[in-house]
Amino acid sequence: MEGTDTVYRTAAWPGSPPRLLRESREPEDIAAYREQGGYRPLADADTLLHEIESAGLLGRGGAAFPLGVKLRAVRRNGRAAGGAVVVANGEEGEPTSIKDRWLLRNRPHLVLDGLRLAATIVGAKRGYVYVSDPDAARGAEAALAELGSDTLGGVGISVWTVPPGYVAGEETAAVRAINGGPAKPTDKPPRPYEVGVRGRPTLVSNVETLANLPYLQQRGSSAFRTQGTPSSPGTFLATVAGANRPPVLYELPHGLRFTELLALHGVSSEQVRGTLMGGYFAGLLNRTVLDTTLDHETMRRAGSGLGCGAISVITDDCPVAVAASVLTYFDRENAGQCGSCFNGTAAMAAVASALRDCAATPEDVDRLRRWSVVLRGRGACATLDAATNVAGTLLGQFPDEVARHLSGDCRQCSAGAFRAERPYQATAVIA
Ligand SMILES: Cc1cc2nc3c(=O)[nH]c(=O)nc-3n(C[C@H](O)[C@H](O)[C@H](O)COP(=O)(O)O)c2cc1C
Ligand code: SF4
């Protein structure tokens, strides 16, 4: 929920009982959460860690990194350093994603329970819920106020709020902010699992990733794997935007056909020109998206990614104009710390915008193509990679549209090009 009168619409995949979504306009309070089996005492942290590993739970923040591997590393480093810290990352900088703030506003106890379980596994006594959305912060604070100190097994949890920004949710930015600095990324190594909050090894995990832990504690890895594919197990939250429709937050089994999602969302395949994947991070996919299934392995093969699960369906908009808007967004939102990033995103945004306006030359497009390759991996964080993904996928996936803009005949853009500060931003709908 947002405020008192706006909501995000949610829906689960028919026949797949939701594990994370909940059908109620009221935030779940502690009594309702306990009724579902929440805050169950953890008898044996090792058993739960094994279940997490057997479940193959992958991070839902964007990189799909196995949670079990990270938990083991933080636990090992924390023992050597005399303690670890856990952070639930709910900053959700991707403009087209709403899943983390939905969870924190509507099911804050599910997230806190997951954070408690992760803290117990790594031996942390300190945890943070890291956010920028005021309602998400209020949701987490209200849930913390309902809890007795013994419920969290002696783990002290507080909410840490930062101003919103695309880079603010990057893991080193989160650690830097909690340490009192700006929410901007730092050079790696060290990574947070080595040296993080107050110098301690720190688990930074996405809110949705952690929200899967109570299910695993209660039902185990075999039940977890009854949904999803062998390499992308379980369900995931997908914010679906675009196609001239209000965004909907779905809980879907990994491996669902994209066309099945379209049918659920009420969009005909014929209308689809492509998608913007992973929020903005994974860039554009053309109509080949219609042949994909929604799992990490298939998306990687298609040259794309699920990322944080946010999918924007492009129907009427020109992909060149969409890419220009997203690159301009990255030009505004990068942290301005790395020369290759702030110069590179500005240059890519300028060429993409000129192309949209049918004012670019073939040499400009060649330069854009070269930048999309050589700038990859050159920033302290992966924002520059996101920008190169957008530029590279525009050129690779939509060559005909690019050629049309070079010869000055995109009728659509000539009639008034798509321009948005935050294309397909997922804002709430009025109830
Ligand atoms: C530029 C940038 C922004 C990011 N923003 C977020 C974010 O808002 N929320 C998030 O959970 N992860 C974000 N990440 C990923 C985090 O760095 C980190 O990998 C993640 O929080 C780990 O959680 P997970 O393993 O559960 O996915 C971002 C990464 C980059 C490069
Ligand atoms: S790569 Fe870009 S966004 Fe990331 S730290 Fe450097 S300047 Fe900031």
Residue 118 token pair: 């992760």
pLDDT digits (tens, 9 = 90+) for 348-394: 999 999 999 999 999 999 999 999 999 999 999 999 999 999 999 99
pLDDT at 4 over 60: no
For the chain, the structural domain boundaries read 20-226, 232-314, 319-415
Q: Say how far apart CA 159 and CA 112 lie, in whole Å.
A: 11
- Give the span between the Cα atoms of 316 and 43, in whole angstroms: 54
pLDDT band for 6, please (50, 70, 90 cuts): low
Task: Report how far ligand 2's centroid is from the alpha carbon of 381 (Å).
Answer: 5
Ligand 2 pocket check for 384: Cβ under 6 Å: yes
* Mean pLDDT in residue range 170-184: 98
In this model, does residue 180 exceed pLDDT 90? yes
Rg for the chain, CA atoms, rounded? 21
Cα 365 to middle of ligand 1, angstroms: 31
Q: Is any ligand 2 atom within 6 A of the Cβ of residue 167? A: yes
CA distance 47 to 33: 23
Contact 108, 142 (CB under 8 A): yes
Could you tell me which of 422, 372, 431 has the C-alpha nearest to residue 397? Answer: 372
Q: Which ligand is nearest to the CA of 332?
A: 2
pLDDT tens for 261-283 read: 999 999 999 999 999 999 999 99
- pLDDT grade for 431, boundaries at 50, 70 and 90: very low
Range of lowest pLDDT (116-130, 241-255, 301-315, 412-426) = 412-426
pLDDT at 134 over 60: yes
Residue 383 CB–ligand 2 contact under 6 Å: yes
Q: Average of pLDDT values for 159-181?
A: 98
- Report residue 133 as tokens: 């959305």
* Res. 3: pLDDT tops 50: no
Contacts of 334 (CB under 8 A, 6+ apart): 166, 167, 341, 342, 345, 379, 383, 384, 387
Please, what CATH class does the domain formed by 20-226 belong to?
A: alpha beta
Mean pLDDT of the chain: 95
Ligand 2 center to 96 CA (angstroms): 20
pLDDT of residue 430: 56
Cα gap 182→168, rounded to integer Å: 9
pLDDT band at residue 294, thresholds of 50, 70 and 90? very high
CA–centroid distance, 62 to ligand 1, in Å, is 6
Is ligand 1 within 6 A of the CB of residue 247? no
Rounded to whole angstroms, how far apart are CA atoms 392 and 421?
A: 21
Q: Selecting from 3.30.1740.10, 3.30.70.2500, 1.20.59.10, 1.20.1440.230, what CATH number does the domain 319-415 have?
A: 1.20.1440.230
Task: Report in angstroms the alpha-carbon separations of 364 from 316, 400, 413.
Answer: 26, 16, 19
Give yes or no for residue 335 having a pLDDT over 90. Answer: no
Q: How many residues does the chain have?
A: 431
- Verify whether ligand 2 is closer than 6 Å to residue 117 (CB atom): no
Name the closest-CA residue to atom 22, ligand 1: 205
| Closest C-alpha residue for ligand 2 atom 6 | 338
Judge if the beta carbon of residue 424 lies within 6 A of ligand 2: no
- Residue corresponding to tokens 């903005």: 280
pLDDT at 106 over 80: yes
Which protein residue's CA is at the shortest distance from atom 23 of ligand 1?
A: 205
Provide mean pLDDT across the span 7-11.
86
Beta-bridge mates of residue 12: 251
Q: Label residue 31 exposed, middle or buried (CB < 10 Å: 0-12, 13-18, 19+).
A: exposed
Check pocket membership of 88 for ligand 2, CB cut-off 6 A.
no
pLDDT of residue 183: 97
Which atom of ligand 2 has the smallest separation from the CA of 333? 3
| Domain 232-314 belongs in CATH node 1.10.3720.10 | no
Locate 338 and state its tokens. 């790395």
Residue 215: is its pLDDT beyond 90?
Answer: yes
Which of 334, 385, 388, when mutated, tests ligand 2's pocket best, judged by the most ligand atoms within 8 Å of its CB? 334
Residue 16 in this model has a pLDDT that exceeds 80? yes
Is residue 71 predicted with pLDDT exceeding 70?
yes
If phi > 0 it is left, if psi is from -120 to 50 it is alpha, else beta; for residue 389 that is: alpha
Report the percentage of the chain scoring pLDDT > 70.
Answer: 97
Decide if pLDDT at 153 tops 90.
Answer: no
Pocket lining: 340 vs ligand 2, CB cutoff 6 Å:
no
The answer to whether 271 and 263 have CB atoms below 8 angstroms apart is no
Q: Which two tokens stand for residue 114?
A: 């997951």
Contacts 24+ apart (CB under 8 A), 35-43: 37/214, 37/218, 38/109, 38/110, 38/113, 38/214, 39/109, 39/113, 39/116, 39/151, 40/214, 40/217, 40/218, 41/153, 42/117, 42/120, 42/153, 42/217
pLDDT at residue 151 in the model: 79
Q: What percent of the chain clears pLDDT 90, i.e. is strictly above it?
A: 91
What integer is the mean pLDDT of 196-201? 98
- Measure 171 CA to ligand 1 centroid, in angstroms: 6
| Fold equal for 20-226 and 232-314 | no
How many of the other CB atoms lie within 10 Å of CB of 284?
30
